[in-house]
Structure 1
Amino acid sequence: MRVLVVEDEQTLARYLAQGLRERAMSVDVAHDGDTALDKLITDCYDVVVLDRDLPGVHGDEVCRRIIADGGRARVLMLTAMADVGDRVTGLRLGADDYLGKPFDFEELVARLEALGRRSQPARPPVLRHDDIALDPAQRQVSRAGRLVPLSNKEFGVLAALLAAGGAVVSTEELLRTVWDEHADPFTNAVRMTMHRLRAKLGEPSVIDTLPGVGYRLTAPAC
């Protein structure tokens, strides 16, 4: 899941970005409304964590433009104001959810995961392929009943392949959804991550490489 954190408190923004990346999310950060709108033009996000009281373009206006553009991004609005009227205003602007500061990080993660599911076609709570099972909520992967410890990037790559259901996933798409805006398009990070993932999952291999095209899961065993 790709997330844009729009928060002018830079310490809080760094904390959120680091914590969400540790949950295998791809995270970009903006500290004002103008920068957020620029990023929304050039990149696609599943969820935008949007502080309401932003410098430059106000968070309310950023929310209006996200909704007006008709994209798939869901909006989780943050505010230091706890008044019911402020929450109602934010929701009426088109925000999908609302969280007042201070907030519990685990609650933020749970709300983001729920919004991320709403931004995509419905999928089962546990993703499966052949004898592989990936549980996003528990962040666990198993093969033939054996737990397979994966890094955040390995977990994200496998989740993307499982979500694709056998369709080809390009290197560019993996960089967009598993890494972030700072990923070098010419890097070999995807190839190296795929190599480690294959090794950890073991034989027989369940990931096909299509040179110059991307990756996909192998056809399930009969």
Structure 2
Amino acid sequence: MLRQQQRLVEQLRTAGIQDQRVLAVMGQVPRHQFVDEALANRAYEASALPIGYGQTISHPYTVACMTAALLENQSHAPARLRVLEIGTGSGFQTAVLAALVARVYSIERLALLATRAAQRLQQLKLRNVRLQHGDGNHGWPDYAPFDGIVVTAAAKGIPRPLAQQLTIGGCMVTPLDTGQEQVLIRLTRTTAEEFCHELLGPATFVPLLSGVAFGVSP
């Protein structure tokens, strides 16, 4: 697995990921532990993989790109950042963030995925993660504001409650569904009421849904 993991890191570097901190963590977090055992031999392929319930573990490049975009231009060192993740999924992106920042708060609407992710993160002894089974569209006001927010599902527009939970100078990396395509953007809160956004490139994500689900069907 280690050789496959290092090969993946080189592919990420060739694809344009330059943040050495992100590359190092991508070479350390065991992606094979975040997929079903039957798919473990494909864990270090440059592709998204199914995790059940209509969800996927994101493409490694997507995870690395979103993480690097979140860390770029932050006023605080990564080890001091508090980050909110919307859509825990398998827990892989959560684990990557947890290896880089002070605290990760992650929300997953599907109870079974939330439970599995919690078990995997506990096995890796990641003590700086707090998980919630809930509707990510509302964010997590009890722990706001956040230095960064990562959204792992595509919304029709930027959820205002999430934007309002950013610190001044904080940023949110999120995919948006324009109706014709999906794009990845970085939204930075410049003042209490003003935001600026940057287009990071095309994206492919499952849709951001409202509500919570406890059973198999979302």
TM-score in same-fold range (> 0.5): no
Looking at CA atoms only, which structure, 1 or 2, has the larger radius of gyration? Answer: 1
Higher helix share: 1
TM-score (norm 2): 0.28
TM-score (norm 1): 0.28
- Greater share of strand residues, 1 or 2? 2
